[in-house]
Structure 1
Amino acid sequence: MAGHSKFKNIMHRKGAQDKKRASLFAKLGKEIMVAAKMGGPDVESNARLRLAVNTARSNSMPKDNIERAIKKGAGGGEADLLEEIRYEGYGPGGIAVIVDVLTDNRNRSAADIRAIFSKAGGSMGETGSVAFMFDRVGEIVYPAEAGEAEAIFEAALEAGAEDVASSDEGHEIICSADDLHAVAAVLEGALGEAKSCKLAWKPQNTVPVEDEGKAEGLLKFLDALDDNDDVQNVTANFDIADEVMEKLAG
Protein backbone atom coordinates (compact mmCIF):
# COMPACT_ATOMS: atom_id res chain seq x y z
CA MET A 1 0.00 0.00 0.00
CA ALA A 2 1.49 3.29 -1.10
CA GLY A 3 1.66 6.12 1.40
CA HIS A 4 1.31 8.92 -1.12
CA SER A 5 -0.58 9.51 -4.33
CA LYS A 6 -1.90 12.31 -6.52
CA PHE A 7 -5.48 11.25 -5.98
CA LYS A 8 -6.43 14.62 -4.51
CA ASN A 9 -5.89 16.20 -7.92
CA ILE A 10 -7.58 13.37 -9.78
CA MET A 11 -10.98 13.62 -8.18
CA HIS A 12 -12.30 17.10 -8.87
CA ARG A 13 -14.88 18.12 -6.31
CA LYS A 14 -15.83 21.35 -4.62
CA GLY A 15 -16.45 21.80 -0.93
CA ALA A 16 -19.69 23.06 0.51
CA GLN A 17 -18.18 26.52 0.89
CA ASP A 18 -17.92 26.77 -2.90
CA LYS A 19 -21.52 25.83 -3.55
CA LYS A 20 -24.86 27.28 -2.73
CA ARG A 21 -26.00 25.29 0.25
CA ALA A 22 -29.47 24.80 -1.20
CA SER A 23 -28.02 23.23 -4.34
CA LEU A 24 -25.70 20.98 -2.35
CA PHE A 25 -28.49 19.81 -0.05
CA ALA A 26 -30.73 19.13 -3.07
CA LYS A 27 -28.09 16.82 -4.54
CA LEU A 28 -27.52 15.06 -1.25
CA GLY A 29 -31.27 14.71 -0.82
CA LYS A 30 -31.61 13.05 -4.23
CA GLU A 31 -29.04 10.42 -3.34
CA ILE A 32 -30.75 9.74 -0.01
CA MET A 33 -34.13 9.37 -1.72
CA VAL A 34 -32.84 6.93 -4.32
CA ALA A 35 -30.96 4.92 -1.69
CA ALA A 36 -34.07 4.67 0.48
CA LYS A 37 -36.20 3.76 -2.52
CA MET A 38 -33.85 0.95 -3.61
CA GLY A 39 -32.92 -0.54 -0.24
CA GLY A 40 -35.53 0.64 2.23
CA PRO A 41 -35.49 3.35 4.94
CA ASP A 42 -33.48 1.42 7.56
CA VAL A 43 -30.05 3.06 7.73
CA GLU A 44 -28.50 0.08 9.51
CA SER A 45 -29.50 -2.51 6.91
CA ASN A 46 -29.21 -0.28 3.83
CA ALA A 47 -25.51 0.29 3.13
CA ARG A 48 -26.05 2.82 0.34
CA LEU A 49 -28.43 4.84 2.48
CA ARG A 50 -25.98 4.76 5.37
CA LEU A 51 -23.25 6.21 3.12
CA ALA A 52 -25.61 8.87 1.79
CA VAL A 53 -26.72 9.92 5.25
CA ASN A 54 -23.13 10.04 6.54
CA THR A 55 -22.11 12.21 3.60
CA ALA A 56 -25.07 14.52 4.21
CA ARG A 57 -24.17 14.84 7.90
CA SER A 58 -20.54 15.60 7.06
CA ASN A 59 -21.79 18.46 4.89
CA SER A 60 -23.93 19.83 7.75
CA MET A 61 -27.24 18.93 6.13
CA PRO A 62 -29.99 19.45 8.75
CA LYS A 63 -31.41 16.33 10.38
CA ASP A 64 -34.96 17.29 9.32
CA ASN A 65 -33.85 17.46 5.67
CA ILE A 66 -32.26 14.02 5.90
CA GLU A 67 -35.32 12.43 7.51
CA ARG A 68 -37.63 14.09 4.97
CA ALA A 69 -35.53 12.72 2.08
CA ILE A 70 -35.63 9.20 3.56
CA LYS A 71 -39.43 9.35 3.88
CA LYS A 72 -39.78 10.61 0.31
CA GLY A 73 -37.61 7.79 -0.98
CA ALA A 74 -39.38 5.09 0.99
CA GLY A 75 -42.77 6.41 -0.07
CA GLY A 76 -42.01 6.53 -3.78
CA GLY A 77 -43.45 9.59 -5.53
CA GLU A 78 -40.63 11.98 -6.38
CA ALA A 79 -38.00 9.27 -5.92
CA ASP A 80 -39.70 7.09 -8.55
CA LEU A 81 -39.03 9.78 -11.14
CA LEU A 82 -35.28 9.89 -10.52
CA GLU A 83 -33.02 7.95 -12.87
CA GLU A 84 -29.31 7.24 -12.48
CA ILE A 85 -27.29 7.91 -15.63
CA ARG A 86 -23.55 7.92 -16.30
CA TYR A 87 -22.19 10.14 -19.06
CA GLU A 88 -18.67 9.78 -20.40
CA GLY A 89 -16.51 11.84 -22.69
CA TYR A 90 -13.39 13.88 -23.25
CA GLY A 91 -12.90 17.38 -21.92
CA PRO A 92 -10.35 20.05 -22.90
CA GLY A 93 -6.92 18.62 -23.65
CA GLY A 94 -8.27 15.09 -24.10
CA ILE A 95 -9.02 14.66 -20.39
CA ALA A 96 -11.28 11.62 -19.77
CA VAL A 97 -14.38 12.54 -17.76
CA ILE A 98 -17.13 10.56 -16.03
CA VAL A 99 -20.29 12.40 -14.97
CA ASP A 100 -22.73 10.68 -12.60
CA VAL A 101 -26.25 12.09 -12.83
CA LEU A 102 -29.53 11.71 -10.94
CA THR A 103 -32.34 13.21 -12.99
CA ASP A 104 -36.10 13.26 -13.49
CA ASN A 105 -35.65 14.24 -17.15
CA ARG A 106 -33.14 12.23 -19.19
CA ASN A 107 -33.47 14.40 -22.29
CA ARG A 108 -32.83 17.63 -20.39
CA SER A 109 -29.77 16.23 -18.63
CA ALA A 110 -28.27 14.81 -21.83
CA ALA A 111 -28.72 18.14 -23.62
CA ASP A 112 -27.27 20.15 -20.73
CA ILE A 113 -24.21 17.90 -20.27
CA ARG A 114 -23.56 17.76 -24.02
CA ALA A 115 -23.71 21.56 -24.22
CA ILE A 116 -21.15 21.93 -21.41
CA PHE A 117 -18.77 19.52 -23.12
CA SER A 118 -19.22 21.24 -26.48
CA LYS A 119 -18.70 24.76 -25.10
CA ALA A 120 -15.39 23.68 -23.56
CA GLY A 121 -14.18 22.09 -26.78
CA GLY A 122 -14.77 18.57 -25.50
CA SER A 123 -16.96 15.76 -26.77
CA MET A 124 -19.43 13.30 -25.29
CA GLY A 125 -18.79 9.60 -25.86
CA GLU A 126 -20.76 6.38 -25.70
CA THR A 127 -21.19 4.48 -22.44
CA GLY A 128 -17.91 2.70 -21.73
CA SER A 129 -15.85 5.02 -23.92
CA VAL A 130 -13.69 6.18 -21.00
CA ALA A 131 -14.85 4.10 -18.00
CA PHE A 132 -12.28 1.42 -18.83
CA MET A 133 -9.58 3.95 -17.86
CA PHE A 134 -10.91 4.08 -14.28
CA ASP A 135 -11.28 1.66 -11.37
CA ARG A 136 -14.34 1.66 -9.14
CA VAL A 137 -13.09 2.09 -5.57
CA GLY A 138 -14.22 3.05 -2.09
CA GLU A 139 -13.05 6.49 -0.95
CA ILE A 140 -13.03 7.57 2.70
CA VAL A 141 -11.92 11.09 3.58
CA TYR A 142 -10.83 12.36 7.00
CA PRO A 143 -9.88 15.95 7.88
CA ALA A 144 -6.23 16.74 8.54
CA GLU A 145 -6.89 17.07 12.28
CA ALA A 146 -8.00 13.43 12.47
CA GLY A 147 -4.37 12.47 13.08
CA GLU A 148 -0.79 12.41 11.85
CA ALA A 149 -0.15 10.82 8.46
CA GLU A 150 1.64 7.81 9.96
CA ALA A 151 -1.19 7.12 12.41
CA ILE A 152 -3.80 7.36 9.65
CA PHE A 153 -1.70 5.07 7.47
CA GLU A 154 -1.47 2.44 10.21
CA ALA A 155 -5.21 2.64 10.94
CA ALA A 156 -6.03 2.31 7.23
CA LEU A 157 -3.67 -0.65 6.86
CA GLU A 158 -5.28 -2.34 9.84
CA ALA A 159 -8.76 -1.71 8.40
CA GLY A 160 -7.87 -3.34 5.07
CA ALA A 161 -7.46 -0.26 2.88
CA GLU A 162 -5.32 -0.27 -0.26
CA ASP A 163 -3.94 3.27 -0.44
CA VAL A 164 -3.64 6.44 1.64
CA ALA A 165 -2.90 9.99 0.49
CA SER A 166 -2.25 12.51 3.25
CA SER A 167 -1.79 16.24 2.71
CA ASP A 168 -2.46 19.52 4.49
CA GLU A 169 -6.03 19.26 3.19
CA GLY A 170 -6.74 15.91 4.84
CA HIS A 171 -6.44 12.16 4.43
CA GLU A 172 -7.92 10.18 1.53
CA ILE A 173 -8.16 6.45 2.09
CA ILE A 174 -8.82 4.12 -0.85
CA CYS A 175 -10.13 0.58 -0.61
CA SER A 176 -11.86 -2.02 -2.75
CA ALA A 177 -15.41 -1.01 -3.66
CA ASP A 178 -16.67 -4.28 -2.17
CA ASP A 179 -14.87 -3.59 1.12
CA LEU A 180 -15.99 0.02 1.55
CA HIS A 181 -18.56 -0.56 4.28
CA ALA A 182 -16.33 -2.92 6.28
CA VAL A 183 -13.26 -0.65 6.05
CA ALA A 184 -15.33 2.44 6.92
CA ALA A 185 -16.74 0.71 10.01
CA VAL A 186 -13.27 -0.22 11.31
CA LEU A 187 -11.94 3.28 10.64
CA GLU A 188 -14.89 4.90 12.38
CA GLY A 189 -14.07 2.86 15.48
CA ALA A 190 -10.45 3.99 15.34
CA LEU A 191 -10.71 7.56 14.03
CA GLY A 192 -14.30 8.64 14.49
CA GLU A 193 -16.79 9.66 11.79
CA ALA A 194 -15.30 10.33 8.35
CA LYS A 195 -15.76 13.58 6.46
CA SER A 196 -17.07 11.60 3.51
CA CYS A 197 -17.42 7.96 2.55
CA LYS A 198 -18.50 6.89 -0.93
CA LEU A 199 -17.84 4.90 -4.08
CA ALA A 200 -15.62 6.76 -6.51
CA TRP A 201 -13.87 6.42 -9.85
CA LYS A 202 -10.07 6.29 -9.67
CA PRO A 203 -8.11 6.83 -12.89
CA GLN A 204 -5.58 4.13 -13.75
CA ASN A 205 -3.33 6.81 -15.27
CA THR A 206 -3.39 10.60 -15.26
CA VAL A 207 -2.76 13.30 -17.84
CA PRO A 208 -0.42 16.06 -16.61
CA VAL A 209 -1.68 19.63 -17.02
CA GLU A 210 1.22 22.04 -16.65
CA ASP A 211 -0.02 25.05 -18.61
CA GLU A 212 -1.82 27.65 -16.49
CA GLY A 213 -4.27 28.64 -19.22
CA LYS A 214 -5.22 25.06 -20.01
CA ALA A 215 -5.59 24.25 -16.31
CA GLU A 216 -7.90 27.23 -15.78
CA GLY A 217 -10.05 26.23 -18.75
CA LEU A 218 -10.25 22.64 -17.53
CA LEU A 219 -11.31 23.66 -14.02
CA LYS A 220 -13.99 26.00 -15.40
CA PHE A 221 -15.33 23.13 -17.50
CA LEU A 222 -15.42 20.78 -14.51
CA ASP A 223 -17.05 23.46 -12.36
CA ALA A 224 -19.74 23.98 -14.99
CA LEU A 225 -20.53 20.27 -14.86
CA ASP A 226 -20.51 20.22 -11.08
CA ASP A 227 -22.84 23.23 -10.91
CA ASN A 228 -25.52 21.45 -12.93
CA ASP A 229 -28.39 20.51 -10.60
CA ASP A 230 -28.64 16.96 -11.97
CA VAL A 231 -24.93 16.16 -11.61
CA GLN A 232 -23.97 14.21 -8.50
CA ASN A 233 -20.27 13.55 -9.15
CA VAL A 234 -17.63 14.53 -11.68
CA THR A 235 -14.39 12.57 -12.08
CA ALA A 236 -11.53 13.23 -14.50
CA ASN A 237 -8.07 11.79 -15.06
CA PHE A 238 -6.02 14.98 -14.83
CA ASP A 239 -3.11 15.96 -12.59
CA ILE A 240 -2.49 19.69 -12.33
CA ALA A 241 1.00 20.58 -11.16
CA ASP A 242 1.08 22.04 -7.65
CA GLU A 243 2.79 25.23 -8.80
CA VAL A 244 0.05 25.79 -11.38
CA MET A 245 -2.66 25.28 -8.77
CA GLU A 246 -0.89 27.79 -6.51
CA LYS A 247 -0.85 30.39 -9.32
CA LEU A 248 -4.53 29.85 -10.03
CA ALA A 249 -5.39 30.08 -6.33
CA GLY A 250 -3.42 33.29 -6.07
Structure 2
Amino acid sequence: MAGHSKFKNIMHRKGAQDAKRSKLFSRLSKEITVAAKMGGPDADSNPRLRLAIQNARGQSMPKDNIERAIKKADAGDVETYDEIRYEGYGPGGIAVIVEALTDNRNRSASNIRACFSKNGGALGETGSVSFMFDRVGEIVYPASAGDADSMLEAAIDAGAEDVQSDEEQHVVTCAFEDLGEVSKALGDALGEAESVNPIWKPQNLTPVDEEKAGSLLKMIDALEDDDDVQNVYANFDISDEIMEKLAS
Protein backbone atom coordinates (compact mmCIF):
# COMPACT_ATOMS: atom_id res chain seq x y z
CA MET A 1 0.00 0.00 0.00
CA ALA A 2 1.30 3.43 -0.83
CA GLY A 3 0.51 7.07 -0.21
CA HIS A 4 -2.49 8.00 1.90
CA SER A 5 -3.79 4.43 1.92
CA LYS A 6 -1.06 3.64 4.46
CA PHE A 7 -3.07 5.61 6.99
CA LYS A 8 -6.24 3.63 6.38
CA ASN A 9 -5.51 0.91 8.92
CA ILE A 10 -4.60 3.41 11.61
CA MET A 11 -7.68 5.49 10.97
CA HIS A 12 -9.79 2.33 10.91
CA ARG A 13 -8.80 1.75 14.50
CA LYS A 14 -9.74 5.31 15.34
CA GLY A 15 -13.09 4.83 13.64
CA ALA A 16 -13.74 1.69 15.65
CA GLN A 17 -12.95 3.57 18.84
CA ASP A 18 -15.12 6.53 17.89
CA ALA A 19 -18.10 4.21 17.47
CA LYS A 20 -18.08 3.68 21.23
CA ARG A 21 -19.61 7.05 21.91
CA SER A 22 -19.91 6.94 25.70
CA LYS A 23 -16.31 5.79 26.13
CA LEU A 24 -15.10 8.38 23.65
CA PHE A 25 -16.94 11.17 25.48
CA SER A 26 -15.47 9.95 28.76
CA ARG A 27 -11.95 10.23 27.36
CA LEU A 28 -12.61 13.65 25.90
CA SER A 29 -14.10 14.82 29.20
CA LYS A 30 -11.07 13.58 31.11
CA GLU A 31 -8.70 15.46 28.78
CA ILE A 32 -10.77 18.65 29.14
CA THR A 33 -10.79 18.36 32.94
CA VAL A 34 -7.05 17.67 33.14
CA ALA A 35 -6.27 20.54 30.74
CA ALA A 36 -8.47 22.95 32.71
CA LYS A 37 -6.93 21.90 36.02
CA MET A 38 -3.37 22.29 34.70
CA GLY A 39 -3.74 25.55 32.78
CA GLY A 40 -6.95 27.17 34.01
CA PRO A 41 -10.53 27.23 32.68
CA ASP A 42 -10.00 30.00 30.10
CA ALA A 43 -9.54 28.36 26.69
CA ASP A 44 -8.15 31.59 25.20
CA SER A 45 -5.13 31.45 27.50
CA ASN A 46 -4.89 27.64 27.77
CA PRO A 47 -3.82 26.04 24.46
CA ARG A 48 -4.25 22.48 25.71
CA LEU A 49 -7.80 23.19 26.85
CA ARG A 50 -8.57 24.94 23.57
CA LEU A 51 -7.49 21.86 21.60
CA ALA A 52 -9.40 19.54 23.94
CA ILE A 53 -12.60 21.54 23.47
CA GLN A 54 -12.08 21.65 19.71
CA ASN A 55 -11.67 17.88 19.57
CA ALA A 56 -14.79 17.39 21.67
CA ARG A 57 -16.77 19.60 19.32
CA GLY A 58 -15.35 17.73 16.34
CA GLN A 59 -16.82 14.52 17.79
CA SER A 60 -20.22 16.19 18.35
CA MET A 61 -19.86 16.12 22.12
CA PRO A 62 -22.73 18.13 23.68
CA LYS A 63 -21.90 21.61 24.95
CA ASP A 64 -23.23 20.73 28.41
CA ASN A 65 -20.73 17.86 28.67
CA ILE A 66 -17.87 20.19 27.78
CA GLU A 67 -18.91 22.81 30.32
CA ARG A 68 -19.41 20.16 33.00
CA ALA A 69 -15.89 18.82 32.42
CA ILE A 70 -14.42 22.31 32.84
CA LYS A 71 -16.44 22.99 36.01
CA LYS A 72 -15.24 19.69 37.44
CA ALA A 73 -11.68 21.02 37.35
CA ASP A 74 -12.82 24.25 39.06
CA ALA A 75 -14.53 22.29 41.83
CA GLY A 76 -11.15 21.32 43.26
CA ASP A 77 -12.12 17.75 44.16
CA VAL A 78 -11.06 16.20 40.87
CA GLU A 79 -8.59 13.32 40.94
CA THR A 80 -4.94 13.99 40.16
CA TYR A 81 -4.13 12.29 36.87
CA ASP A 82 -0.68 11.27 35.72
CA GLU A 83 0.21 11.14 32.03
CA ILE A 84 2.06 7.91 31.28
CA ARG A 85 3.38 6.38 28.06
CA TYR A 86 3.67 2.62 27.75
CA GLU A 87 5.58 0.91 24.96
CA GLY A 88 5.79 -2.65 23.77
CA TYR A 89 5.35 -5.15 20.98
CA GLY A 90 2.18 -6.82 19.73
CA PRO A 91 1.72 -9.99 17.66
CA GLY A 92 3.93 -10.04 14.56
CA GLY A 93 6.50 -7.79 16.21
CA ILE A 94 4.29 -4.71 15.78
CA ALA A 95 5.48 -1.71 17.79
CA VAL A 96 2.77 -0.23 20.03
CA ILE A 97 2.62 3.01 22.02
CA VAL A 98 -0.12 3.51 24.61
CA GLU A 99 -0.88 6.90 26.18
CA ALA A 100 -2.76 6.88 29.47
CA LEU A 101 -4.22 9.37 31.95
CA THR A 102 -4.53 7.64 35.29
CA ASP A 103 -5.13 8.28 38.98
CA ASN A 104 -3.59 4.89 39.83
CA ARG A 105 -0.29 3.99 38.18
CA ASN A 106 -0.22 0.44 39.57
CA ARG A 107 -3.69 -0.36 38.23
CA SER A 108 -2.89 1.02 34.79
CA ALA A 109 0.44 -0.79 34.51
CA SER A 110 -1.13 -4.08 35.56
CA ASN A 111 -4.11 -3.78 33.20
CA ILE A 112 -2.04 -2.70 30.21
CA ARG A 113 0.56 -5.40 30.80
CA ALA A 114 -2.28 -7.95 30.86
CA CYS A 115 -3.68 -6.64 27.55
CA PHE A 116 -0.30 -7.22 25.93
CA SER A 117 0.47 -10.63 27.45
CA LYS A 118 -2.99 -12.15 26.93
CA ASN A 119 -2.89 -11.34 23.22
CA GLY A 120 0.59 -12.47 22.26
CA GLY A 121 2.36 -9.19 22.97
CA ALA A 122 4.92 -7.99 25.49
CA LEU A 123 5.12 -4.70 27.37
CA GLY A 124 8.58 -3.15 27.22
CA GLU A 125 10.49 -0.30 28.78
CA THR A 126 9.84 3.35 27.98
CA GLY A 127 11.80 4.11 24.83
CA SER A 128 11.78 0.54 23.58
CA VAL A 129 9.72 1.35 20.46
CA SER A 130 9.17 5.13 20.38
CA PHE A 131 12.36 5.57 18.32
CA MET A 132 10.39 3.98 15.44
CA PHE A 133 7.83 6.80 15.56
CA ASP A 134 7.95 10.56 14.98
CA ARG A 135 6.20 12.96 17.35
CA VAL A 136 4.18 15.19 15.01
CA GLY A 137 1.02 17.26 14.92
CA GLU A 138 -2.06 15.83 13.19
CA ILE A 139 -5.07 17.84 12.02
CA VAL A 140 -8.05 15.98 10.57
CA TYR A 141 -10.71 17.48 8.29
CA PRO A 142 -13.68 15.71 6.72
CA ALA A 143 -13.59 15.10 2.96
CA SER A 144 -16.29 17.77 2.62
CA ALA A 145 -13.73 20.44 3.55
CA GLY A 146 -12.44 20.43 -0.04
CA ASP A 147 -10.74 18.35 -2.70
CA ALA A 148 -7.23 16.99 -2.29
CA ASP A 149 -5.57 19.76 -4.29
CA SER A 150 -7.23 22.58 -2.37
CA MET A 151 -6.42 20.91 0.94
CA LEU A 152 -2.78 20.51 -0.06
CA GLU A 153 -2.56 24.17 -1.03
CA ALA A 154 -4.16 25.30 2.23
CA ALA A 155 -1.89 23.03 4.24
CA ILE A 156 1.26 24.30 2.53
CA ASP A 157 0.17 27.91 3.09
CA ALA A 158 -0.43 27.11 6.77
CA GLY A 159 3.07 25.63 7.18
CA ALA A 160 2.14 21.94 7.29
CA GLU A 161 4.46 19.19 6.07
CA ASP A 162 2.08 16.71 4.43
CA VAL A 163 -1.55 15.89 3.60
CA GLN A 164 -2.99 12.41 3.11
CA SER A 165 -6.48 12.44 1.57
CA ASP A 166 -9.02 9.70 0.93
CA GLU A 167 -12.76 9.49 0.34
CA GLU A 168 -13.53 10.12 4.01
CA GLN A 169 -11.05 12.68 5.31
CA HIS A 170 -7.91 14.78 4.96
CA VAL A 171 -5.11 14.09 7.45
CA VAL A 172 -2.69 17.01 7.74
CA THR A 173 0.63 16.54 9.51
CA CYS A 174 3.05 19.18 10.72
CA ALA A 175 6.01 19.55 13.05
CA PHE A 176 5.00 18.95 16.66
CA GLU A 177 6.08 22.42 17.73
CA ASP A 178 4.07 24.04 14.90
CA LEU A 179 0.75 22.35 15.73
CA GLY A 180 -0.89 25.38 17.33
CA GLU A 181 0.17 27.79 14.59
CA VAL A 182 -0.73 25.46 11.71
CA SER A 183 -4.11 24.49 13.17
CA LYS A 184 -4.99 28.15 13.68
CA ALA A 185 -4.06 29.04 10.10
CA LEU A 186 -6.08 26.11 8.75
CA GLY A 187 -8.98 27.02 10.99
CA ASP A 188 -8.98 30.56 9.59
CA ALA A 189 -8.93 29.20 6.03
CA LEU A 190 -11.17 26.12 6.30
CA GLY A 191 -13.11 26.31 9.55
CA GLU A 192 -12.83 24.12 12.62
CA ALA A 193 -11.12 20.75 12.21
CA GLU A 194 -12.53 17.43 13.40
CA SER A 195 -9.49 16.89 15.59
CA VAL A 196 -6.14 18.49 16.38
CA ASN A 197 -3.65 16.32 18.25
CA PRO A 198 0.00 15.58 18.83
CA ILE A 199 0.45 11.96 17.71
CA TRP A 200 3.08 9.25 17.34
CA LYS A 201 3.41 8.65 13.60
CA PRO A 202 5.13 5.41 12.51
CA GLN A 203 8.24 5.94 10.41
CA ASN A 204 7.53 2.69 8.57
CA LEU A 205 4.64 0.23 8.56
CA THR A 206 5.03 -3.54 9.04
CA PRO A 207 2.82 -5.94 7.03
CA VAL A 208 0.77 -8.34 9.16
CA ASP A 209 -0.73 -11.65 7.98
CA GLU A 210 -4.31 -12.70 8.71
CA GLU A 211 -3.52 -14.81 11.77
CA LYS A 212 -1.41 -12.15 13.46
CA ALA A 213 -3.82 -9.38 12.39
CA GLY A 214 -6.70 -10.94 14.30
CA SER A 215 -4.66 -11.16 17.50
CA LEU A 216 -3.23 -7.68 17.05
CA LEU A 217 -6.61 -6.01 16.55
CA LYS A 218 -7.99 -7.91 19.55
CA MET A 219 -5.13 -6.57 21.64
CA ILE A 220 -5.68 -3.01 20.45
CA ASP A 221 -9.41 -3.30 21.16
CA ALA A 222 -8.61 -4.48 24.69
CA LEU A 223 -6.26 -1.54 25.24
CA GLU A 224 -8.78 0.96 23.89
CA ASP A 225 -11.46 -0.48 26.18
CA ASP A 226 -9.36 0.33 29.26
CA ASP A 227 -10.70 3.43 31.02
CA ASP A 228 -7.20 4.82 31.64
CA VAL A 229 -6.08 4.60 28.01
CA GLN A 230 -6.41 7.74 25.92
CA ASN A 231 -4.62 6.79 22.68
CA VAL A 232 -3.05 3.74 21.03
CA TYR A 233 -0.56 3.96 18.15
CA ALA A 234 0.93 1.05 16.22
CA ASN A 235 3.04 0.59 13.06
CA PHE A 236 0.99 -2.14 11.40
CA ASP A 237 -0.13 -2.46 7.78
CA ILE A 238 -3.06 -4.82 7.22
CA SER A 239 -4.30 -5.31 3.67
CA ASP A 240 -7.86 -4.38 2.73
CA GLU A 241 -8.55 -8.05 1.92
CA ILE A 242 -7.56 -9.20 5.40
CA MET A 243 -9.50 -6.34 7.00
CA GLU A 244 -12.62 -7.37 5.11
CA LYS A 245 -12.22 -11.00 6.20
CA LEU A 246 -11.78 -10.02 9.82
CA ALA A 247 -14.77 -7.69 9.70
CA SER A 248 -17.11 -10.32 8.25
TM-score higher than 0.5 here? Answer: yes
Provide the rounded CA distance (Å) in 2 between the counterparts of 1:65 and 1:18.
18
Paired residue total: 246
Measured after TM superposition, the shift of residue 24 of structure 1 is: 1.5
The equivalences for 1:117-196 within 5 A come to: 117-196=116-195
Measured after TM superposition, the shift of residue 206 of structure 1 is: 1.4
1:22 matches 2:22: yes
- Deviating runs (4+, > 4 A) in structure 1? none
Measured after TM superposition, the shift of residue 225 of structure 1 is: 0.5
* Gap change, CA 1:129 and 1:24, over 3 Å in 2: same
Provide the rounded CA distance (Å) in 2 between the counterparts of 1:177 and 1:74.
29
Provide the rounded CA distance (Å) in 2 between the counterparts of 1:16 and 1:202.
18
Q: Secondary structure at the match of 1:198?
A: strand
Match of residue 52 from structure 1: 52
Provide the rounded CA distance (Å) in 2 between the counterparts of 1:145 and 1:181.
23
Q: Secondary structure at the match of 1:136?
A: strand
Match of residue 199 from structure 2: 200
RMSD of aligned C-alpha atoms?
Answer: 1.8
Preserved contact between residue 72 and residue 78 of structure 2 (Cα < 8 Å): yes
Specify the code of the residue in structure 1 equivalent to 2:71: K
Match of residue 239 from structure 1: 237
Uncovered stretches (5+) of structure 1, i.e. residues with no partner:
none
Deviations 1:205-228 (A, max 9, x none): 11112x222212211111111111
Provide the rounded CA distance (Å) in 2 between the counterparts of 1:189 and 1:5.
28
Measured after TM superposition, the shift of residue 135 of structure 1 is: 0.9
Provide the rounded CA distance (Å) in 1 between the counterparts of 2:16 and 2:123.
26
Specify the code of the residue in structure 1 equivalent to 2:19: D
Preserved contact between residue 3 and residue 153 of structure 1 (Cα < 8 Å): no
Provide the rounded CA distance (Å) in 1 between the counterparts of 2:203 and 2:17.
28
Q: Percent identity?
A: 67
TM-score after normalising by structure 2: 0.93
Match of residue 248 from structure 1: 246
Q: Which moved more, 1:164-173 or 1:21-30?
A: 21-30
